[in-house]
Chain A
Amino acid sequence: MALEKAHKFFLQAFIANGIFTAREVHKLYRETCERFDREFCDRVHNEPDLGPFVESINMNIKPFQLEMKKAVDEANGVSSFVLVNTADNSLTKLSSTYSENELELFKKLVEKIVGSGTGSVSSIEALNLSSTCKMKKPEAESFFTNMIEHKWLKKIPDGHYALATRCIAECDLYILQQYPDDARTCNMCCRLVIQGESCRECNTTIHKHCSQRYFKDEVVPVCPNQACNAEWLHRQSR
């Protein structure tokens, strides 16, 4: 098996960057086509014909337990492409660039975020975890900043830390396996949901973007759990 230059070029950008939003991917794809004189399909939606291109990369990198996949930002519904590890030791990718202590701290942070119910923890709580990992607070802080830069973590408007799309795409299975009691799956798409909308009566949770689609035409939205049917409050508050 071998890939064309254009595919390799595109793939290397992903290896270096990890994640691109759909908009960035299209830009990258356009640049790639220009550089290698490839035909660039501009369709009705002004979208390049990325699908088959990514597909042939995926076929070639699958043996190496790598995959490019689509992921959706839990907060704003923006879709991205992420290069993920499909090997079961999904923290391996991280482990190269970070020390053992840092990795330990990150695992603890993930645990705390998953168990928080809100899908985020305050920066003070996050920094307090450092002492259990033999790290000083300033060290931990610059580690978190680095994690934000590399799009594993994000800071949400209230200053809390939350898991960024790249992290969820990469570690979703790990989180579901590791924290079966706390990790929830979306009632709509069945994937892991960290920051979503929850029913106030039952345990049902769905992604914001899934909820938007599901309740689009509902006048009085109710919990998608048939046994519950309680009013879905999130939609009204908007």
Chain B
Amino acid sequence: MADETQLMFSQEEQTVSKQSKVLCQLSAEEISKIVVDLVRYLLIMSQKKLPIKRSDINKTVLGDKSRGFDHFIEMAKERLSLVFGMELIELELNSKSYILLSEFQDHPYLNCYSAGKTECSLLMIILSFIFMNGNVISDNQLYDCLRRIGIDIEFHHEVFGDVENKLKKDYVRQGYVEYSRVVGAEPVQHEFKWGLRARKELSKLKVLDFVAKIYGEEDPSNWTSQWEQANAENAPNES
């Protein structure tokens, strides 16, 4: 047992020393220049809202200094948070893909709001369906819901275009929805949930307001369960 911990420890030490070797060779100025470049790169790339790959970061920004990746990314992460109010998150542990999220929920100038009205409404409709259905919806259920409001995913939609592609590719990659196989379901079934970005950047209260407006319902608190959820989520948050 003791040997094992020692072994693990020394391995860790080795990676650290490799990294610090890279860093030791650089002056403070060089390091801060790399961090500035990295922050700029992440900001620019995040405009498309797509995940940013570690390999692209290495290729475009770090080059022969990629060994110090972990160190540089930590520093960039700190700057992004302190100065820009953005959170840099690795999509999944060791996925080597990063996404930049705003620390502000319902920022009126961000997200679907700024992507143009049509894009925004389709996304809001889809997120609403998921939320109102209890935070998860099977693919067939969602397609039924969409069909009922005149969006048939099998056909190219006049306003929204290729909805299936947007739903399964664009929104998934941008982190607005998660699309996954239902575990153990036979025959194979898929379901949609809110993605990381939607959970972080959109409040359930906002979505409930949107739904209430569509239904012509004055008071969103009439949806008791959703209302409670939305408020529970809102309570510990800032602003």
Contacts and interface: CB of A to CB of B under 8 A. Distances in A.
9 contacts: A2-B82, A11-B84, A12-B85, A12-B102, A13-B108, A16-B110, A28-B109, A64-B36, A96-B45
A36 B32 CA distance: 31
A92 interface: yes
Interface size class of B (residues with CB under 8 A): 20 to 34
Contacts, number: 73
Contact of B82 (A1, A13, A31, A66): A1
A60 B80 CA distance: 11
Interface string B15-33: 0000000000000000010
A13 B83 contact: no
Nearest to B33: A63
A8 B103 contact: yes
Q: Which of A1, A12, A31 has the most CB of B within 10 A?
A: A12
Given A2-B82, A5-B238, A8-B84, A17 B114 contact: yes
Contact of B36 (A2, A9, A65, A97): A65
B206 interface: no
Contacts of B36: 63-65
B40 A65 contact: yes
6 closest A-B pairs (Cβ-Cβ)?
A8-B85, A13-B109, A96-B44, A2-B82, A16-B109, A16-B114
B107 interface: yes
B238 A3 contact: no
Interface in A64-84: 64-66
A150 B44 CA distance: 15
Contact of A96 (B39, B47, B102, B110): B47
A61 interface: yes
A93 interface: yes
A87 B39 CA distance: 13
Interface residues of A, number: 29
Q: Which of B40, B48, B79, B86 has the most CB of A within 10 A?
A: B40
Contacts of A95: 44
Interface of A: 1-3, 5, 8-9, 11-13, 15-17, 28, 31, 35-36, 60-61, 63-66, 87, 92-93, 95-97, 149
B31 to A, nearest CB: 13
B43 interface: yes
Contact of A12 (B32, B44, B48, B84): B84
Given A9-B104, A28-B109, 6 more contacts: A12-B84, A13-B110, A16-B109, A17-B109, A63-B32, A64-B83
Q: Which of A1, A16, A66, A92 has the most CB of B within 10 A?
A: A16
Nearest to A85: B40
A9 B43 CA distance: 15
Nearest to A97: B47
Contacts of A16: 47, 109-110, 114
Contact of A97 (B40, B48, B84): B48
Contacts of A12: 84-86, 102, 104, 107, 109-110
A36 B239 CA distance: 6
B153 to A, nearest CB: 24
Contacts of B84: 3, 8, 11-12, 15
Contacts of B114: 16-17
Contacts of B103: 5, 8
Interface in B186-239: 238-239
Contact of B85 (A5, A17, A96): A5
A61 B44 contact: no
B122 to A, nearest CB: 18
B69 to A, nearest CB: 20
Given A64-B40, A97-B47, A1 B108 contact: no
